[in-house]
Amino acid sequence: MIDLIPGRFEGQVALVVGGAQGIGKAIAVRLASEGARVVIADIDRAMMARTAAEISAAGGSVRTVVCDVQKKPQVQRTVVKIIRWYKRIDVLMFVAGVSKDTPFVETDEKLWDLTMSVNLRGGFLFARAVAPQMIKQRKGKLVFMSSTNAWDAEANFAPYNASKSGLYLLAKTLARELGPMGINSNAIGPGLIRTRLTEGVRKDPTFMKKYENLIPVGRIGEPEDVAGPATFLASRDADYVNGVLLFVDGGQLA
Ligand SMILES: NC(=O)c1ccc[n+]([C@@H]2O[C@H](COP(=O)([O-])OP(=O)(O)OC[C@H]3O[C@@H](n4cnc5c(N)ncnc54)[C@H](O)[C@@H]3O)[C@@H](O)[C@H]2O)c1
Span 177-218, pLDDT tens digits: 999 999 999 999 999 999 999 998 899 998 898 888 999 999
Q: Which atom of ligand 1 is nearest to the CA of 48?
A: 39
Active site amino acids:
160
Helix orientation angle between 122-137 and 158-178, rounded to the nearest 10 degrees = 10
pTM recorded for the entire structure: 0.98
Please provide the average confidence, as pLDDT, over all residues in the chain: 97
Span 62-83, pLDDT tens digits: 999 999 999 999 999 999 999 9
- Domains contained in the chain, CATH given: 13-248 (3.40.50.720)
Pocket test for ligand 1, best of 42, 64, 211 (most atoms within 8 A of CB): 42
pLDDT exceeds cutoff 90 at 1: no
CA distance readout (Å), 57 to 10, 54, 61, 224:
18, 5, 10, 19
- Average pLDDT of the segment spanning 16-32: 98
- Average pLDDT of the segment spanning 14-41: 98
Q: Give the binding-site residues of ligand 1, using a 6 Å CB cut-off.
A: 18, 20-24, 42-44, 47, 67-70, 95-99, 118, 145, 147, 190, 192-193, 195-198
Q: What is the pLDDT of residue 29?
A: 98
**Going along the chain, which residue ranges are E strands?**
13-17, 37-42, 61-66, 91-94, 140-145, 183-190, 245-248
**Cα gap 62→104, rounded to integer Å:** 41
pLDDT exceeds cutoff 80 at 25: yes
Q: What is the DSSP string of 85-123?
A: HHS---EEEE---------GGG--HHHHHHHIIIIIIHH
Pocket test for ligand 1, best of 15, 23, 168 (most atoms within 8 A of CB): 23
Q: Which atom of ligand 1 is nearest to the CA of 221?
A: 3
**Cα gap 31→13, rounded to integer Å:** 9
Q: What is the pLDDT of residue 211?
A: 86
- Average pLDDT of the segment spanning 151-160: 96
